[in-house]
Amino acid sequence: MRVYNFSAGPSMLPEDVLLQVQKEMLDYDNSGMSVTEMSHRSKYFTAIVTEAEQGLRDLMNIGDDYYVLFVQGGASMQFEAVPLNLLGKNAKADYIVSGNFANKAYEEAKKYGDIRCVASSKESKYTYIPKPAKSDFTKDAAYLHITSNNTIYGTRYVKFPETDLPIVADMSSEILSRVVDVNKFSVIYAGAQKNIAPAGVTIVIAKKSLVDVDYTLPYCPTMLKWSTQAEKGSMYNTPPCFSIYVAMLVFRYLKKLGGVPAMEEINEYKAKLLYDCLDESKFFRSSVAVEDRSIMNVTFVTPSAELDAQFVAEAAKNGLVTLKGHKSVGGIRASIYNAMPVEGIKKLVGFMQKFESENK
Ligand SMILES: *Cc1c(COP(=O)(O)O)cnc(C)c1O
């Protein structure tokens, strides 16, 4: 029996896509083999990569002035790749530390240059998005790094910072969940395992002008150079073929549903159901600043850690699984990415109301 899986990542995939994968598992497109068995240089796989790239370009309205790269190593590898690719001319960068992953990105970058934390919400346990003014940024920094959605804490930038600096954004836990003007960013990166595909592939969308001028640090590993992947069409070495294939199917599926605007509308609706339930409750509490609430990761607590654990355990018995908060913060977290159906949210809300009435 399928469950409603609220895992923060790897997370749910659309059932239609999984069924398609199952159908094609032994024989992809009359090749007589599975995508997991074929050469990445085959005509079948070349067509897959081409469609995947075009699919993402269509969904996010990515212009010809950007590269779309499929790389490996997760978002965490991009914590290194970002400074290694961008600090070669001017080794200064600004970071906004809005959560655990943002802090990791900041800590990694510090190895490579003069890196400044412009604003942080660490002292308040990352319950809000810091909002520095335009004048707070370093005038000649090579870039500003932000984490657009904070997966562990459940906050997001509703509005992105006002700055003339090139913005680099980690969008791992919200890519394709809402309409974003790509032109406002110089680089966007995201691991696939939250909103796109199985773990393995990482998306990098990078302004061609920034990659082509080659601001890489001299010791940047070839594998981490965006220009290497750009020149080779993401095929410098063997790519994560299966993950790219599923990404292609997810892009196809999202287009059929009406693209990112349609997803955004559904996601807003799903998040509202959950936040309305929290706001009406005297039992459940969310400690996130209301104006910064994420529509992908919804965090909350009951009156005690014991009841949190009981909630998570009883929910699982009702087919609502992986609701435990991240180990660093505890509590409860419902990750409600694109693939989580509205029915899953409704079932969770019903369960929350029942749990409250039985335990208050
Ligand atoms: C999950 C996540 C990461 C880490 O991703 P990996 O692919 O495991 O390296 C980084 N940033 C954000 C915002 C995330 O949600």
110, 92 in Cβ contact below 8 A? no
CA of 335 to the centre of ligand 1 (A): 14
- Say which residue the tokens 């290194």 belong to: 80
Q: What is the pTM of this model?
A: 0.98
Q: How many helices (H) and strands (E) does the chain have?
A: 10, 13
Whether residues 228 and 319 share a domain: the answer is no
Whether residues 105 and 200 share a domain: the answer is yes
Structure-block tokens of residue 114: 């003069």
Is beta strand 155-156 parallel, antiparallel or unpaired with respect to 149-150? antiparallel
Q: What is the CATH number of the domain that holds 238?
A: 3.40.640.10
Omega prior to 10 cis, within 30 of 0: yes
Domain end, chosen from 219, 241, 256, is at 256
Q: Is 148 in the pocket of ligand 1 (CB under 6 A)?
A: no
Return the residue whose CA atom lies nearest to atom 5 of ligand 1. 75
Q: Give the number of the atom of ligand 1 that is nearest the alpha carbon of residue 9.
A: 1
Whether residues 301 and 355 share a domain: the answer is yes
Q: Give the number of the atom of ligand 1 that is nearest the alpha carbon of residue 171.
A: 13
Return the residue whose CA atom lies nearest to atom 8 of ligand 1. 74
Whether residues 280 and 237 share a domain: the answer is no
Domain end, chosen from 225, 240, 256, is at 256
Those residues with Cβ within 8 angstroms of residue 87's Cβ, 6 or more apart along the chain or in another chain:
93, 112, 113, 142, 215, 217
Domain range for 45: 15-256
Helices (H), the chain: 15-24, 43-60, 74-86, 100-109, 208-212, 226-231, 241-257, 259-280, 305-317, 342-359
Whether residues 276 and 191 share a domain: the answer is no
Whether residues 233 and 297 share a domain: the answer is no
Return the residue whose CA atom lies nearest to atom 2 of ligand 1. 172
Mutate which of 108, 155, 168, 172 for ligand 1? The one with the most ligand atoms within 8 Å of its CB, which is 172
| Spatial distance between the Cα atoms of 152 and 335, rounded to a whole number of angstroms | 10
Per-residue pLDDT of the chain (360 residues; tens, 9 = 90+): 899 999 999 999 999 999 999 999 999 999 999 999 999 999 999 999 999 999 999 999 999 999 999 999 999 999 999 999 999 999 999 999 999 999 999 999 999 999 999 999 999 999 999 999 999 999 999 999 999 999 999 999 999 999 999 999 999 999 999 999 999 999 999 999 999 999 999 999 999 999 999 899 999 999 999 999 999 999 999 999 999 999 999 999 999 999 999 999 999 999 999 999 999 999 999 999 999 999 999 999 999 999 999 999 999 999 999 999 999 999 999 999 999 999 999 999 999 999 999 998
Q: What is the CATH number of the domain that holds 326?
A: 3.90.1150.10
CA of 211 to the centre of ligand 1 (A): 23
| Spatial distance between the Cα atoms of 237 and 275, rounded to a whole number of angstroms | 45
pLDDT the model gives residue 215: 95
pLDDT the model gives residue 223: 96
Q: Is 173 in the pocket of ligand 1 (CB under 6 A)?
A: yes
Widest CA span in the chain? 63
Taking residue 360's Cβ as centre, other Cβ atoms within 10 Å add up to 11
Number of domains in the chain: 2
Return the residue whose CA atom lies nearest to atom 1 of ligand 1. 172
Q: Is 11 in the pocket of ligand 1 (CB under 6 A)?
A: no
Whether residues 158 and 100 share a domain: the answer is yes
Helices (H), 232-341: 241-257, 259-280, 305-317
Return the residue whose CA atom lies nearest to atom 10 of ligand 1. 75
Whether residues 230 and 166 share a domain: the answer is yes
CA of 201 to the centre of ligand 1 (A): 12
Whether residues 245 and 290 share a domain: the answer is no
Q: At residue 182, what is the residue type?
A: V
Q: Give the number of the atom of ligand 1 that is nearest the alpha carbon of residue 99.
A: 13
List, in sequence order, every residue forming a beta bridge with 95; answer none if it has no partner: 117, 145
Those residues with Cβ within 8 angstroms of residue 97's Cβ, 6 or more apart along the chain or in another chain:
103, 106, 117, 119, 120, 121, 122, 130
Return the residue whose CA atom lies nearest to atom 13 of ligand 1. 172
> Which of 293, 289, 311 shows the shortest CA–CA distance to 360?
311
